[in-house]
Structure 1
Amino acid sequence: MSPADVRPPTGPADLPPLTGSADLHAIERVPLADRGLALTTYELLARAARQWPDEPCSLWIPDAAAIEDHVTVTFAALLDRVHRIAHALHAVGVGRDDAVTLMAPNCSDLLAATLAAEAVGVAAPVNAALDVRHVSHLVRLTGSRVLVAAGPELDKALWERLLDSATDLGIEVLVALSSDAVAPGSAAGLGTRPGLRTVRLDDLVDDGPAVPDALPAAPPKPDDPAAFFHTGGTTGTPKVAVHTHRNQAVMAWTLALAGRSGTGQSIVAGLPLFHVNALLVTALAPMVSGARSIWPGPLGYRDPKLYAAFWRLVERYRPRAMSAVPTVYAYLAAIPVDADISSLESPVVGAAPLPDSVRRTFARTTGLALLEGYGLTEGTCASAATLPGDARPGSAGQRLPYQAVAAAEIDEASGRVRPLPAGEVGELVISGPTVFAGYLKRDGDRRWVSDRDVVVDGWLRTGDLGFVRDDHVHLRGRRKDLILRGGHNIDPAVIEDALLAHPAVTAAGAVGRPDRTSGEVPVAFVTLATPEVTVEELTAWAGRHISEPAACPKAITVADSIPLTEVGKPYKPALREAAAARHFRDELIEHGVDAVEVAVGHQDGRLVVRLTGDGEVGAAAALLRDYDVDISTEAEEADQ
């Protein structure tokens, strides 16, 4: 790092201590309204720029294979860039209620454009890996007419895909972002399509005021929408969660309390900016305390090149913290530490359950304890965090200030929520200022926000099972991931933890497979470090290490990999589909029906089995009718 990038660390600015439950309750004795917080993301950045104008806000490493090279952005420079982009967006028609879709790998202008979109309209980050059908749904739902995307130098394939589909999506202006490493090309290199304006962000900004030092319109208010974050998108139609400025600003402040970083300290930011963790934990929260974020390459943790260089990156940039998902720590645990990583104190993990094997292996490799957190997009980001020195076995951390978290029993008929006594397992529910406004809805030209069914009796339903004791949250799996075997609820983590304890198992996923008599039976998928281990050995191991006989998997499949989402979460729907398809094919063959193709998918949370082939399709459908799945054939589809 250059001398300009290094300053002596100082403590967090005006932040009360948060080291345990006593501090939590002391903080909450002061009403949140009396804290004088910035309550919009624009004001959060503006305050940071006034307080630490020359401090580095972020360091951008354009290529993970060349970690020494980086671009530094100060707080003042980021605010200036946000002002300029805000004026440019306003000039192309973006107003307070207008969404700006953003699709690109991480780069400095993607963050600036996201904050600018929140300042004059609503930011709508989208996962570039989604197929055109899902992207189309999201763009039409949000009503976006402006799309800020990776230009050809940053992601040529994505740019060309969006160039071809933008008009059909209803996009009128397609704005190209440039890489932090490569000078942008000419506008002619972007290509054109009828009815579509293509322009580089730099050119769009250059057409604006010479030195804008304010927004082009009134700044946002705390309860204005700040962002539309999509959830899911891998099964069925993705939902769009609406975050207000108050949601994000309060969340950033409470995350800063938990993070305890000050000026001169850093956090590694390797998750994609379409994910709430990237924006809230590693971009907005550091602005509260004057800390900086380190962005290691456009693909971040999704870039295989990063892992070979990661420990040297820690030695060079001296981050105090990092935030990642369990799969990232599983990869890092397998890489010997070849550098001085003594600065790293807070490796934060979230977004998916943390297997004990990953926790143990990472600690053995690095000497560091992973700090687990818990949250969801609908809660803006995080509702619990493990504080340094306060780790408790089986806990995902202490609830964050001004959020109530409870395990509850929910009466579906009356919509009443009954919080349960400490230690009793129920569905986790959350209330407080970071609960989102609701899901975005659309009917023709009318767009609105609804929290119906997800916010009940004043509580956000998470769909997660767990319990709360002494302000600490303990997870017990997802309601929808539970395997329901003859009325017996089986937590897949019981199976996965047992298999992961085997020295040859590197990853595991357990799901329910359809069964005639029990509804579902547990099955498991594993990846192995060595091919010598047999399924029979793994089955015997599971039998010895799983205390619940009903939870012992009926089948174990060795796979090349466990499917993951773009941010590294285990993708259970694909495993359910694979297990069901294999079982149904085997059963049809066993009954002599072997000329039928079986395809399994999900619709509205249910398994759908599609049968195609010759005249045996009817016989196949008859054989599978008594499973709790939906069955369709070509003949039935033709009748419809």
Structure 2
Amino acid sequence: MDPVTLFPTAYDDPADLADIEAVPLAERGLPATTYDVLARAAELWPDRTALVVLPDAERWEEPVRRTYGELLADVHRVANLLRSKGIRRTDAVALLAPNCDQLVTATLAAELAGIAAPINAALSAEHVRHLLDLSGARVLVAAGPDLDATIWAHAQELLAAGAVETVLRLDPTGAPSPDGLTAAAAACPADRFEGERPVADDIASLFHTGGTTGAPKLAAHTHHNEVVDAWSVAANSALAEDAAIFAALPLFHVNALVVTLLAPMFHGQHGVWAGPLGYRDPALYGCFWRLVERYGVTAMSAVPTVYAVLTMVPVDADISGLRFAVVGASMLPPGVRRGFEEHTGVPLVEGYGLTEATCASARSFAGHPRPGAVGQRFPYQQMKAVRVADDGAWVDLPAGSVGTVAIHGPAVFPGYITGRADDGTFVLDGLGKLRDGWLDTGDLGFVDGDGFLHLTGRAKDLIIRGGHNIDPALVEDALLAHPAVTGANAVGMPDRHSGEVPVAYVTVSADVAEDDLLAWAREHVTESAAAPRAVHVVDALPLTSVGKPFKLPLRADAARRAVAEALDGLAGVADVRAEVVDGGVVVTVAADAGADEAAVAAALDAFALTWRVER
């Protein structure tokens, strides 16, 4: 069935990259679509376990299991149900639910019958409605009342308002209801899909970019994008066919779909899926190592904060089968790496990716560590650093030079959804992120001579002090070198003289004075202009729902502090607060009737920020 060239004979060493690319991608014989990936697995290994899904962390020993043959049959049933609801090739199916057994089926079925459009239920109602409108989804697959009562109520509101025409209910894992998706699809054919099957260039999914900085955008992924990226992950020859991949990230995130669902299918491996809360479930950590032993977990994927927590969890089981743990989404503090590896004996390997490049674009190697790098580029993908000139032109930089990271290759998305054409297909636009097939990642870094990517920060996170661009990583790296610091974020604080100046927020593992941390930073920061004005110790650094650093709340706090200092002693000023509004920071000055608003304006007009007075 498969060409002998489907996978390389070895891919566990950086030196393997050249041999892999000696075979053109077109000659690899990859499945054309995500449905073909599943159908292939069901034909080769019909009785092999595909999924082990836990109801929740409290019932971690009561999983629901499905074989590849059973999963394919269930996907056929649900895809045929969606077709009966009017879903065709270019129609989006919205999915709004925490992880559960039925959500896996629904996601794969949506990509077969139409287009999957997962939505983070933690987004505001306004942003959820925006995504529904942008995708044009008329069918919503949502968590039922027994799985998440809040989501179910929201789904009913959307139905009543006419935002969607049909709501299909998802039940908790292991507890199907007479009104749930499984029951609704039971009478549909299980041996085939009766509609038009997708092809490689069809859109498979629409993943939103977050919604943490203004209205979220919808990034389109083709079936070819997802298949190639999942193949790149699966090409790892360090994992055998009996590998078990732990999955605890939400399915509205590309990592969950590509890395922990699609990639294992290529080798007939299986995923062990945590309950609805995933890594956010405190109860998970109490049984985590026993879970790893019980289900033979071979690899896992998580964000740095998860590994920081696991470092504090006693290893009370045999975890010798855990070959490595993948970390991504944000920079890995050296202390977290050191602590986790010393505590568990399990190597942490970094990866790099973003939604606009489908998911993963670079990987590290457990047996070949490359300090400071997040990974080597995947086969058939290209990476470079560029300098963006004043006129917008890109200037390619030599290996080792820091610039904006750009990616080219088969996993780069075709664009964001901006509307519909007359024929019903989506209108796609790179919105400034695409140039001649190259993706502007918005990350700062450099690529070394071996194709390893080294990140130094985010272009949009630059702190501009009197016209001097400051990379926050200069401050963050200096503070992370302190033995007590476990996390660090640097942001710009408004300043009347310099526009903004660096300040830092840190988490610590031991008592340490902020003044001592400030002195440390000023001693270790390599650029004098980057020396922070202040260092603030916090209980936790803000993150998005998928574990990425979220600096806007810190910028808001820095703005609040700057304004409060500027207005200190001014009569009538009762309070100063700051909030994130549409991707920016707005400062509100609460003042009583006796406050001199002109004096407030005189004090704040020198700041480059948005403010208002509230009486």
Query: TM-score scaled to structure 1, two decimals?
Result: 0.90
Mapped to 2, the partners of 1:625 and 1:443 lie a distance apart of 43
Q: Which residue of 2 aligns with 1:622?
A: 602
Which one-letter code corresponds to 2:129 in the other structure? S
1: CA distance between counterparts of 2:390 and 2:437?
Answer: 14
1:275-290 matches, cutoff 5 A: 275-290=253-268
Distance 1:317 1:628 in 2: 54
Task: Tell me which residue corresponds to 2:413.
Answer: 436
* Amino acid aligned to 1:401: P
Shift of 1:598: 4.2
Could you tell which deviates more after superposition, 605-614 or 422-431?
605-614
1 CA distance for matches of 2:186 and 2:10? 44
CA distance 1:459–1:66, change in 2 (3 Å): same
Counterpart residue identity of residue 512, structure 1? G
Kept after mapping to 1: 8 A contact 2:10/2:237: no
Mapping 1:476-625, distance limit 5 Å? 476-530=456-510, 532-592=511-571, 594-595=573-574, 597-603=576-582, 606-611=584-589, 613=591, 614=593, 616-625=596-605
Using the TM superposition, give the Cα deviation of residue 31 of structure 1 relative to its aligned residue in structure 2, in angstroms.
1.4
Q: 207, 231, 238: which is aligned to 2:216?
A: 238
In structure 1, the partner of 2:33 is 40
Q: Distance in 2 between matches of 1:528 and 1:261?
A: 36
Say which SS state the counterpart of residue 181 (structure 1) adopts: coil
Letter in 1 for 2:416: Y
Q: Cα–Cα, structure 1 residues 86 and 608, in superposed 2: closer, same or farther, change >3 Å? A: same
Aligned match of 1:358: 336
> In structure 2, what is the equivalent of residue 419 of structure 1?
396
Describe the superposition over 1:283-341 as per-residue Cα deviations: whole angstroms up to 9, x where unpaired.
Answer: 00001111111112221111111112111111111221101111111111121222111
Structure 1 range deviating more: 262-271 or 555-564: 555-564
Q: Give the aligned residue type for 1:569.
A: K
Q: Distance in 2 between matches of 1:253 and 1:412?
A: 39
Stretches of structure 1 lacking an aligned partner (at least 5 in a row): 1-10, 188-199, 636-640
Higher alpha-carbon deviation: 32-41 or 13-22: 13-22
1:173-572 aligned at under 5 Å gives the runs 173-184=166-177, 186-187=178-179, 200-209=180-189, 212-258=190-236, 260-411=238-389, 413=391, 416-442=393-419, 447-469=426-448, 470-530=450-510, 532-572=511-551
Higher alpha-carbon deviation: 305-314 or 404-413: 404-413
Distance 2:25 2:236 in 1: 16
Q: Retained in 2: the 8 A contact 1:596–1:617?
A: no
- Give the superposition deviation at 1:520: 1.5
Q: Is the 8 A contact 1:55 1:290 kept in 2?
A: yes
Deviation at 1:591, TM superposition (A): 4.2
Judge conservation of contact 2:552–2:585 (CA < 8 Å) in 1: no
Superimposed CA distance per residue, residues 78-109 of structure 1 (whole angstroms, 9 cap, x where no aligned partner): 11110000000000111111111101111121
The code of the aligned residue for 2:117 comes to A
Q: Per-residue CA shift, 1:360-390, capped at 9, x if unaligned?
A: 1111211222100111000000110002212
String of CA shifts for 1:18-51, please: whole Å, max 9, x gaps. 1334321111121111111002101111111111
Deviations 1:516-561 (A, max 9, x none): 222211111223445x432222222323333333323212223232
Which stretch of structure 1 is more off in the superposition, 447-456 or 263-272?
447-456
Task: State how far apart, in whole Å, the 2-side matches of 1:389 and 1:100 are.
Answer: 42
Task: Go from structure 1 to structure 2 and tell me whether the alpha carbon gap of 1:631 and 1:457 turns closer, same or farther (over 3 Å shift).
Answer: farther
Q: How far, CA to CA, are the matches of 1:598 and 1:308 in structure 2?
A: 38
- Please name the residue that 1:191 is paired with: none
Name the CA distance, whole Å, in 1 between partners of 2:572 and 2:71.
65
Deviation at 1:153, TM superposition (A): 1.4
> Per the alignment, do residues 336 and 239 of structure 1 end up closer, same or farther by CA in structure 2, a change over 3 Å counting?
same
- Equivalents in 1 of 2:540, 2:442: separation in Å? 27
User: 1:476–1:215: structure 2 CA closer, same or farther, 3 Å change rule?
Assistant: same
Write the distance in 1 (CA, Å) between the matches of 2:478 and 2:575: 36
1:273 partner SS: coil
Secondary structure of 2:542's aligned partner: coil
Three-state SS of the structure 2 residue aligned to 1:264 is: coil
Alpha-carbon distance, 1:632 to partner:
4.8
CA distance in 1, matches of 2:5, 2:267: 5
Which amino acid letter does the alignment assign opposite residue 91 of structure 1? Answer: S
How far apart, in 1, do the equivalents of 2:225 and 2:276 lie?
Answer: 27
Contact 2:302 2:326 in 1 (8 A): yes
Kindly, what percent of the aligned residue pairs are identical? 50
Deviations 1:147-176 (A, max 9, x none): 111111111222123222333361111111
Stretches of structure 2 that go unaligned for 5 or more consecutive residues are: none
- Find the counterpart in structure 2 of residue 137 from structure 1: 130
Q: 2:598 & 2:437 partners in 1: Cα distance?
A: 49
Q: Which residue of 1 is the match for residue 96 of structure 2?
A: 103
